[in-house]
Structure 1
Amino acid sequence: MTDSALIDGGLRERKRAATRGAITAVARNLTAERGFNGYTVEEVCDLAEISRRTFFNYFPTKEDAILGHMADEVPAGIFDDFVAAGASSPSGQISERLFQDLIQLSLKLSEHLSGSEEETRQLIGVIKKEPQLILRIIGATEEREAEFARVLARREGVPPDHPVVTMAVTLLGSISRKTSMVYFSDGNTRPFRELLLENISAARQLFTQPYQEPVEGTR
């Protein structure tokens, strides 16, 4: 592929991302103002200055437009860098740097979060107004976690259902969600990075305590 083709492809994707972002911003604003059933797709299209066909090329439903596009929430190349960092470890073995690299990945993602903080707060406001969207968010979260499990498995050269992969996705997902709840709570003044590292340290302290497997039949 030529440099010109790469540039053109990158430009097209940036334009697509900008259009997706504009649609999502309009859908969230209208939902916050009028509720989910208080506006039509046509109104979203008018305000976003797109056609109805364009809307459905990007999002199958209004709910999807409100939630946004997963690819726009992750900086380009961040997972590629994460996978490349494990290249020196033998395939099929959990690399010794996995935990450290997962923390670095979480911090990079948190830096991106600070750049889209207003959009996140807006989404939280929409969810409070339309709590039925929580079920869609749960589904979207499960899709994101499944995708991350595939990325992690590819890096380590193990199946996506490997116990370490499963626990890494589950634990880091829980820590990130807990951190976000505190960060976006009323009155919080602490930065996301500080809260995230505090919670990771607390989890590490817990799981590095001495442990003996209970003997079967005893309490």
Structure 2
Amino acid sequence: MNDSAVNEGGLRERKRAATRSAITSTARALTAERGLNGYTVEEVCEAAGISRRTFFNYFPTKEDAIIGHADDDIPSDVVDEFVAGGAASPAGEISPTLFRDLIRLSLRLAEGMSASEEETRELIAVVKKEPQLILRLIGVTEEREAQFARDVARREGVSPDHPVVQMAVVLLSTIARKSSMAYFSDGNTRSYPDLLLENISAASVLFSQPLDTPDTTAAKGQS
């Protein structure tokens, strides 16, 4: 594939991402103003300057448009850099820099938070106004976590259900969620990276303690 084709593909994807973002932003703004049932898909299309057909090429429902796409806010170049970081380790073996690079990935993703902060606050306000959207939000979160597992697995040359991959997804996703909740809470004055690093450090302290595996043999004999 030549450079022209690569550039054309990248431009096309950026245009798709921009259109998708415009639809989501418009749907959230209308929901905040009128409520979920206070406007139609046609009004979203008119405000976003797109056709009804274009809307449904991106989102199956108005609710999905409000929540946004699972790929939103995840720059592919940042993920590619993370995956490439495991190239020096043999496929199938967990690389010794995985934890460090997971932290670096989390901080890189946090860099884009300032650009999308207003959108995130808007989404939080909309979900509070329309609690039925929580299930849709959970669905997108699960999609993102599944993709995260595939990216970690691709980097390490293992299956996405590898226990280390699954634990990495659970830990980092939970820490990111806890940090976000603290960051967007009323009265918070600390930066998101500061909160994120504090929580990662706390987890690191906990898991660096010696593991004294309980002897379950006796318990099994008594059952």
Output the TM-score relative to the length of structure 1: 0.96
Identify unmatched segments of 5+ residues in structure 1.
none
The residue number in structure 1 matching 2:89 is: 89
Is it true that 1:158 corresponds to 2:155 in the alignment? no
Match of 2:176 in 1: 176
For residues 110-163 of structure 1, the C-alpha deviation after alignment (integer angstroms, 9 at most, x for no partner) is: 111221111111100111001111111111111111111111111111111111
The code of the aligned residue for 1:198 comes to E
Aligned 8 A contact 1:150 1:160 in 2: yes
Provide the C-alpha distance between the structure 2 equivalents of 1:84 and 1:7, rounded to a whole number of angstroms. Answer: 21
In the alignment, is the contact (CA less than 8 A) between 2:70 and 2:141 conserved in 1? Answer: no
- Count of residues paired in the alignment: 218
Q: Percent identity?
A: 70
Report deviation, 1:103: 0.3
1:30 match: 30
Q: Which runs of 4+ in 1 moved over 3 A?
A: none
What SS does structure 2 have at the residue aligned with 1:142? helix
Match of 1:200 in 2: 200
- Judge which range, 70-79 or 126-135, deviates more: 70-79
Name the amino acid aligned to 1:4. Answer: S
Once residues 212 and 4 of structure 2 are traced to their aligned partners in structure 1, the CA distance between those partners, rounded to angstroms, is 60
**Structure-2 separation of matches of 1:98 and 1:195:** 21
Name the structure 2 match of 1:15: 15
TM-superposed deviation, 1:6:
2.3
Could you tell me which residue of structure 2 aligns to residue 133 of structure 1?
133
How far apart are the structure 1 equivalents of 2:139 and 2:82? 25
Q: Give the Å deviation of 1:41.
A: 0.2
On the 8 A contact 1:75/1:112 being kept in 2, the answer is: no
The runs of 5 or more residues in structure 2 that have no matched partner are none
1:45-124, aligned counterparts within 5 Å?
A: 45-124=45-124
8 Å Cα contact 2:71-2:144 kept in structure 1: no
Cα contact 2:28–2:66 (8 A) shared by 1: yes
Q: CA RMSD in A?
A: 1.1
Q: CA deviation at 1:198?
A: 0.1
**Residue 185 (1) aligns with residue 185 (2):** yes
* 1:140-187 Cα distance to aligned partner (Å, 9 max, x none): 111111111111111111111111001000011000000000000011
Cα distance in structure 2, aligned partners of 1:153 and 1:95: 11
Name the SS of the counterpart of 1:93 in structure 2. coil
| In structure 2, distance between residues paired with 1:169 and 1:14 | 27
